[in-house]
Structure formats: C-alpha cells, structure tokens
Amino acid sequence: MGSDVRQAVAALLDTDPTTAFAQLVAGGWTAVGLAEDLGGSGGDLRDAADVAAACAASGHRLPVADLLFVTARVLTLAGIPLPAGAVCVVAAGDRVPWASWATHFLSVIDNRVDLIEHAVVEPGTNLAGEPRDTVHLTGPVLASSPVDNVVDEIRTAGALARAVQLAAAIERVLAITVRYCAEREQFGRPIAAFQAVQQELAALAGESTAATAAVDHAIQNPTRHTVAVAKIRTGMAAGTAARLAHQVHGAIGITREYPLHRHTTALWSWRDEYGGEREWSAVLAADVIGHDPAWHGLAPA
C-alpha cells in the first residue's frame, strides 16, 4: 500500500498549502494510523509515514507529520478520542510546533495528559518558517488521562516524525540536484558530465539511501533504539545533503525563487527538533554499551 498512499497524498498536495491542508483533513489523511474508535482513519505506521513523507517532499509547510506521529501517539496512549474536526497539537515545553494552527491542545503535566480547547499563542518560527510557538493554556480541560513516561514517548514519536520528514526531504533535494546537473551547462557540457560533480552527486545519493534505510527500518520495527538510529542518521545526512546540494547548485540555489531552500531550511531545522544527533547518540550509546561486546547490543540473539 506504501507508494499508493504516497501518490494519493502527493496528488492532493499539488495546490496551495491552505487548500492542500483542508483537503488532507477532509479526506482523513491527517488521522492515518490513529485507530478509528479514537476518531482516526485507521491504517498503520507505514501508511502514516507515507503521508508524512509526501507532505515533506512537497515543500509545503504543513503540520501533518506532527499530527500523525506525535498527536496520534499521545491520544493512543491516553485513550482520548480526537474531537471531530479538531487540529490537535501536543503542547509540551517551549517552541510548540504548529500551535497557531491548532484548535485543541494536549498538555502534559507530570505523567498526566489533558485535552484543552483554548490557549494564548505567541507565534514563532523555525528556519523553514514553520510555527514554533509559545503556548499559554487557558482551558477548559475536556478530557484527562494518566500516561507513563509520556515525555519520553513524545520525544521518541517526534523524533520518528522528523526522521521520516528528513529522509523524504533529502530524497527531494537529491532529485532537484540531479535534474539541475543534467540541465545546467558550463564549459559546453552539462555539469553532470564532470567527475568532480559526479563525486558530490554520488555522495548525496549515498546520504539519501542511508537516511531512507534507517527510517524504513524504524518504521518496520519502531523501538527507542531504531528511532534513535533513524534520527541520528537522518540528522547526519541532512547537513551533508544540504551542503552538497547547495555547492552543486551554485548561486541559484540560495535564492528565494529557486525551490531548493524550501527543503534545505527544513533540513537545518528538523535535524535539531525532538533531539539532535547528540541527544539521541547518548540514548543509543547507553542502550548498547552495557553489552559486552557492544555488538550484542546491536544484534541481539
């Protein structure tokens, strides 16, 4: 079902972002992976990842990955249904993603989740221009439920969301760069014909392949370990991919007019959200190093 979902969503995204988001909500695409008895559309994590990947690849600024991975995860753990028609975001900590788009909020205090309808939102953005807001919740509380380790759960779900987005955006950056190399001519031939450029393109392809492999593995078998691997590897790939793509493009790539920046500014933001390589490396190292040899923590028998 994987690529079918991605194609169906990509077709809905071929318009302006506001219309695209309205179409996605109306079609139930922003609640894929959430059980139907919680107000979701059903489907599994692979389907949710395909929807989020299609959105990331489109270059539109949309809250879909956060809704599919973070909101859905918290609602599922709390057993709280999604209010009909709601855009519900998790408001834990500062720099809350997409609060200015939300109709409802999930707040976290100790190990309790509250569904809240109103908040005062001070807008902010990340490098890509996506809302990262300050939220003052004002109530009322519509539902409440205890959830163990909810802060870690949110961090992990968010990291997986960003990893999915990063891999999809890197794939798109590769496609844009390959096309440019075939079209752009210098010294009388396409720059793709130059070995120096080929080396950079192949390195970019390698980062894309690695990022996708790490994410696919995490989606198939989502654990804190595999999510850590995916977030670290996509975060590493993000910086390298952005650097290589801009270098190959030359000056056109750093203009507002050319589409590359829509993706590279996202790469530079997403890699640090829900924990960057350093935070997740510490998680992964702690998970593995207790084993002797460490290999046994990487490949359990």
3-state helix, strand, coil in the chain (%, to 5): 60, 15, 25
Which residue matches tokens 């991975």? 69
Residue 169 makes contact with other proteins by CB under 8 A: no
**Judged by CB, which is closer to other proteins: 22, or 182?**
182
Q: Cα(5)–Cα(77) distance, rounded to whole angstroms?
A: 25
Q: What angle do CA 49, 55, 60 make, to 5 degrees?
A: 155
Cβ 183 to other proteins, closest distance in Å?
Answer: 10
Q: Out of 6, 162, 233, 246, which residue is the one contacting other proteins (CB under 8 A)?
A: 233
Number of neighbouring beta carbons within 10 Å of residue 67 = 33
Q: Cα(297)–Cα(224) distance, rounded to whole angstroms?
A: 13
Cβ 169 to other proteins, closest distance in Å?
Answer: 17
Residues 6+ apart with CB under 8 A from 98: 63, 66, 87, 89, 130, 131, 133
Cβ 61 to other proteins, closest distance in Å?
Answer: 28
Residue 280 makes contact with other proteins by CB under 8 A: yes
The letter for the amino acid at 260 is L
Q: Out of 133, 154, 226, 267, which residue is the one contacting other proteins (CB under 8 A)?
A: 226
The letter for the amino acid at 228 is A
Cβ 99 to other proteins, closest distance in Å?
Answer: 31
Residue 26 makes contact with other proteins by CB under 8 A: no
Q: Cα(245)–Cα(254) distance, rounded to whole angstroms?
A: 10
3-state SS, residue 300:
coil
3-state SS, residue 131:
strand
Q: Out of 214, 219, 241, 260, which residue is the one contacting other proteins (CB under 8 A)?
A: 214
Residue 186 makes contact with other proteins by CB under 8 A: no
Q: Cα(33)–Cα(51) distance, rounded to whole angstroms?
A: 10
Of the ranges 28-36, 95-103, 120-128, 201-209, which one interacts with other proteins (CB under 8 A)? 201-209
Residue 199 makes contact with other proteins by CB under 8 A: yes
Residue 299 makes contact with other proteins by CB under 8 A: yes
Contact between 53 and 75 under an 8 Å Cβ cutoff? The reply is no
**Judged by CB, which is closer to other proteins: 25, or 203?**
203
Residue 10 makes contact with other proteins by CB under 8 A: no
Residues interacting with other proteins, by CB under 8 A? 174, 178, 181-182, 190, 192, 195, 197-199, 201-203, 205-206, 209-210, 213-214, 216-217, 226, 228-229, 232-233, 236, 277-278, 280-286, 288-289, 292-295, 298-301
